[in-house]
Amino acid sequence: MPQEEKLLDASGMDCARVILGLKKALVEINSGQILKVVATDPIAPKALEVFARQTRHILLKQAQNGTAFIFFVQKT
């Protein structure tokens, strides 16, 4: 697993709030650093893929642990 600089635990949040939290968390880290995001909304995997593509941040890794989705996003 990549080494994250910051963790965003968005468990229980709907997808729109996950993306909003992701945007805010990315502002708090430097370019090249990694944000770990944990979400439980089943739409989150697709939404984070689209977000990363549109914002040109890098989705390094995506995994699932039970009902939790885990993402590692590198800020560009």
**Residues noted as catalytic:** 15
Contacts 24+ apart (CB under 8 A), 7-10: 7/35, 7/36, 7/37, 7/38, 8/35, 8/36, 8/37, 8/38, 9/38, 10/37, 10/38, 10/39, 10/40, 10/41, 10/44
